[in-house]
Amino acid sequence: MARMIPDSGPRGTDSKGERDLYTIFKAELPDDYTVIHSLPWLSAAVKKVDPQAKPTGEIDFLIIHPEKGLLVLEVKSGEYGVKNNEFFHRHKLYSIDPVGQTRKNVHGIARWLGSNPLLRLRIGYGFVFPDSDFAGKPTTPGMYDTTSVPAQPLYVDHREMPNVTERVVALMDYWKTTLGNFDLGEARVARLIEFLTPEIDGRRGWASRILFDNKEWLQLTEEQSIVVMRVLKNQTSLVTGWPGTGKTLIVIETARRLASQKKKVLVVSFNNKLTEYVRTQLVDSKTCDVVTWHGLCGQARNVLGRTSEPGKEDEWYKLQCVHDLKDAIDQGRLSGYSALLVDESQALLPSWCETLSSWFHDKPKAFFCDETQVFPYERGNISLKDLSELLGVDPFPLTIIMRMPKAVTSILEEVVPPKLQHSTPRTLEHDTAVEMISADPCKEASQIRQNLIDSGVLPEDMVILIARFIPRQYVEYLIREQPRCETITKFRGLEAPIILILGAELLDTAELFSAYSRATSKCIAIYNAGSYSWSRQEAFRSRLISLPNHQAILQEEKYKLRIDNIVARSTERTTLNLASLNISWAESWKVWLIEADDDQSLAKMWIAYLAHKLPQPIFFWPKNSTTRFHYAKINSSFTEDVDSPDSYSAQSLVFYPCQKCVDLTPHTDIIKANCILCETEKGRTSYPDITIIDAIRIMDSLISGELDKDRIRELQPRLPLNIAAAASLFRAERNKKRSNALKVQLPTGRRLYLIAFIFAQVRIATSSPGAIMDVNFLADEIYGRFNGLASISSTDWRKIFANAMGTLYAKGYMRKISKGFYSPMEDEQTPVPRRYRSDGYGATSEGEDLEADDLINVEIEDSEDDHLEAIPECIVVHA
């Protein structure tokens, strides 16, 4: 069956002959034939054949074969006769010139294809008269080759229609020989078909949308030109407006017009990169000086011959800089300027604005500001109200937003309702503002950038914006892929066609407002589902999770980040089915995996025992955790009993791809992350001997109480103390009369104190209401029960146990009756302990997975210094 184009049937035609031939060709021609029906073409080259002809045409059928070549087939339905070398319709009595028409079509399509050197082809032609009978006679010279042996008619009439497919194939063979054509080959056929019938999506790509937006929305508008004239007319101006209203455009145009009047203009900004951009726009305006605030003050310091004292650079940036400028002005050491333009006024301090205003008190000056773009760490900046009072003029608001996509404007207005009604001529296009919650933000960012680049977007048209402090995974991604990247602080006032915000979850409302508003064509904000910040109130995040389905998306993405799910994707787990501990064997990793329930003290006791019992590494994490993944590393320098909770340390792990393991594996969470599976390769032996597993199962049965009571009494004296403590905790959870005391995290301390602390927790949790607890009696009872305490005297044990009870009393879980006697307090009277990290190092609130210590500073510490020196576009890490 031939490949038909179009494949849905013949293209709209009234010709019954064409419809019939379409069906015949589809059914009878072999698979290696391609038949294109109703192919239009456009070529001015046909004028060379017939100056009167139109440079367009349509071919009824174009038949293509990799060996036989191309054949143009013209179909003439209806009864035709031939007279005086002309074809005429027998009923409608009009004449036609099928040979001339077909030759024009062949010549036109050949020249059209010839624009591609690989498709310069010689093409044959033929005719089909399905309703006419020419009795096998020569019709016209152009339709019958008498020189061929045998003579070759180039037409198929009614009598040959039953064999039309064979005749078409014969025509293709005839033309291949006559024209001396070589085989086309499969590759050229594919290229030819793609050239003739290209598949074009038709949707506007981002590359073309960026070009359109740059031409349509980033030019000075008529309304903005009126503001320019207003500024030029007034002695003092204060222009305010949201991002995208054209403040910087107005600054640049005003400076140009002032310079054209031979006036010397000083343009001051705060941001180094914005200043550099304005400077490049005014490069032809020789009388314009464009500087940052600190650059201007630095010039003043230089002309005064002053230098900053070592170690006091911060003081100069914040305090002394303005004094140097004042002194240079007072001494007449700076150039004389005719006019002042200040962009980003909201980033300046009141004393700085006062100095500039005083300097130009009798000269034209204009200040431009946007109160929405003041970051929380910028303290003491001048307010719009104070700036208005200083200048003695009312602010002139810009309300037409041109630069930002309308979808971005809508989000910003929802989060930060404006004081004035804004308008925008841009059409609402929802795909210009994309907000996503992802379990793997770096992977999302990488794929988004690559897809945009593949679609024709230039890498320099995309900017990734980040916070000043970011986690290591973001730093590693930025170093690895080297995209164009800036911190939001440095990019204030600038713009880019596509803005990608990586780590949006780390930013506050003012930073996100500024970041979103930098886009001229598309803004993409990626929020990390695993961040602790979702529990904090912030306007952008609150809005995002309030949208339909987004709360579910957040939970779904968080679910992907859970340690147990990541482990499940990397290795199979075989559980031991213990009652008191969720422990399983990871076959491909050859390690033990422990998922600790809420009672982490119980897990800690177990791990202390197993770390010395099992020969393979042990990895553990709190249930449902997304980041707290640990390796129970034996402390080789520990001198006490090996089953002490302090005989191992919890080494933090993170997941990274390992080239050797060819998988996502646990790595040490240090500056240089190493695969822990590779580091422990020698120790990762096969599944342990069954006798070890049986011993563990016995301990579990004892802890859970499933072991026969006589057997428990037999084993109890010889139990390791941490297993005995674990058994007490497990039973207390089942028989507790109060809960809060059991939730208290194990403190730091020596082994026996920790054991005593657990026994004290258990007694408080299980004692009857109002019961009197005799500390010495309880200590002696425990001492006589376990042989492991024989290493110290009963008196010493009493002291340790009394110390543990005293700690819990001090925390508010007991009331003191008299010396050595306590009574438990009920839960409603006691504090609820804060949740603790599984490694025991410090408290954490619900959902908190990332601390400030986990973030890396990617900005120069003295941010004001950025306004004196150019900042590289690639990421520079300052750990």
The DSSP string of 331-387 is: TT-S---SEEEES-GGGS-HHHHHHHHHHTTTS-EEEEE-GGG--TT--SPPPHHHH
Non-local (6+) Cβ contacts of 80 within 8 A are 87, 88, 89, 90, 96, 129, 131, 132
456: left (phi over 0), alpha (psi -120 to 50) or beta: left
What average pLDDT score do residues 20-47 get?
82
CATH 3.40.50.300 domain locations along the chain: 219-402, 407-559
Q: Which segment of 323-337, 356-370, 737-751, 784-798 scores lowest on mean pLDDT?
A: 737-751
Q: For tokens 């914005």, what's the residue?
A: 274
Of residues 58 and 853, more confidence is placed in: 58
C-alpha–C-alpha distance, residues 104 and 145, integer Å? 19
Q: What is the DSSP letter of 745?
A: P
The count of residues in the chain is: 879
Distance CA 800, CA 757 (A): 9
Which residues have a Cβ under 8 Å from the Cβ of 28 and sit 6 or more positions away? 2, 165
> Does residue 525 register a pLDDT over 50?
yes
What are 449-466's pLDDT values in tens digits? 999 999 999 999 999 999
Mean pLDDT score of the chain, rounded to an integer?
88
Percentage of the chain surpassing pLDDT 90?
Answer: 60
- Taking CA atoms, 205 is separated from 202, 428, 457, 649, in Å, by 8, 17, 9, 54
Count CA atoms closer than 13 A to 744's CA, side-chain side.
28
> Which residues are registered as beta bridge partners of 528?
438
- Quick one: average pLDDT of 45-59? 55
CA geometry: angle at 490 spanning 486 and 492, to 5°?
110
Q: What is the pLDDT of residue 846?
A: 35
Euclidean distance between CA atoms 28 and 251, whole angstroms: 73
Query: What is the distance of C-alpha 229 from the center of its chain?
Result: 43
Whether the bond into 6 is cis, omega within 30 of 0: yes
Highest mean pLDDT among 39-53, 421-435, 712-726, 739-753: 421-435
pLDDT tens column, 406-461: 999 999 999 999 999 999 999 999 999 999 999 899 999 999 999 999 999 999 99
Check whether 42 has a pLDDT greater than 60.
Answer: no
CATH number of 407-559: 3.40.50.300
- The DSSP output letter for 263 is -
Instruction: Say what the pLDDT of residue 662 is.
Output: 84
Torsion angles phi and psi, residue 345, rounded to 5: -60, -30
Helix (H) or strand (E) holding 501: strand 496-502
CB neighbour list of residue 161: distance below 8 Å, 6 or more residues apart: 130
pLDDT in tens, 808-865: 999 999 999 999 999 999 999 999 887 544 333 334 433 344 444 456 666 644 443 4
Q: Which amino acid is at 128?
A: V
Q: Which residue has the tokens 């025509």?
A: 171
For residue 45, what are the CA distances in angstroms to 48, 54, 101, 104, 142? Answer: 6, 10, 14, 10, 21
Indicate whether 686 pLDDT > 50: yes
Using 50, 70 and 90 to split pLDDT, how confident is the model at 44?
very low
Q: What are the beta bridge partners of residue 663? A: 658
Count CB atoms within 10 A of the CB of residue 659: 8
Phi, psi of 176 (to 5 degrees): -60, -40
CA distance 726 to 605: 6
Looking at the predicted structure, is the pLDDT value of residue 396 above 90? yes
CA distances from 194 to 187, 188, 189 (A): 11, 10, 9
Instruction: State mean pLDDT over 659-675.
Output: 85
Asked if residue 520 has pLDDT above 70, the reply is yes
CA atoms 418, 424, 429, 431: torsion sign? negative
Do the Cβ atoms of 217 and 495 come closer than 8 Å?
no
Nearest CA among 660, 664, 655, 438 for reference residue 569:
664
Backbone angles phi and psi of 660, in degrees to 5: -70, -45
Name the least confident of 174-183, 345-354, 744-753, 862-871. Answer: 862-871
- Out of 267-276, 590-599, 659-668, 710-719, the most confident range is 267-276
**pLDDT at 55 exceeding the cut of 70:** no
Q: Is the per-residue pLDDT at 588 higher than 50?
A: yes
CATH of 219-402, one of 3.40.1350.10, 3.40.50.300, 3.40.1440.10, 3.20.20.10: 3.40.50.300
Displacement of CA 588 from its chain's centroid (Å): 31
- DSSP result, 803-836: HHHHHHHHTTSEEEEETTEEEEPPGGGSPPPPPB
**683 pLDDT band (50/70/90 cuts)?**
confident
- The reported pLDDT for the residue numbered 875 is 30
Count H helices, E strands: the chain? Answer: 29, 34
Question: What percentage of the chain carries pLDDT values higher than 70?
Answer: 91
Higher pLDDT, 480 or 52: 480
- Read out DSSP for 97-134? -HHHHHHHHHHHHHHHHTTSGGG----EEEEE-TT---
Q: Are 72 and 106 in contact (CB under 8 A)?
A: yes
Confidence of residue 877 (pLDDT cuts 50, 70, 90): very low
Q: 471: pLDDT confidence band, cut at 50, 70 and 90?
A: confident
Decide: pTM greater than 0.75: no
What one-letter code names the amino acid at 497? Answer: P
Q: How far apart are CA 145 and CA 257, in angstroms?
A: 77
* Residue 798 token pair: 């009493």
**Which run of H or E residues covers position 290?**
strand 288-292
Average pLDDT over residues 172-178: 94
How wide is the angle at C-alpha 288 spanned by C-alphas 282 and 291, nearest 5°? 90
Q: What is the pLDDT of residues 756-776, one digit of tens each?
A: 999 999 999 999 999 999 999
Please give the Cα distance from 148 to 604 (Å, whole number): 98
99-115 pLDDT, tens digit each: 888 888 888 888 888 88
Q: Residue 273 has which token pair?
A: 């990169």
Residues paired with 65 in a beta bridge = 69
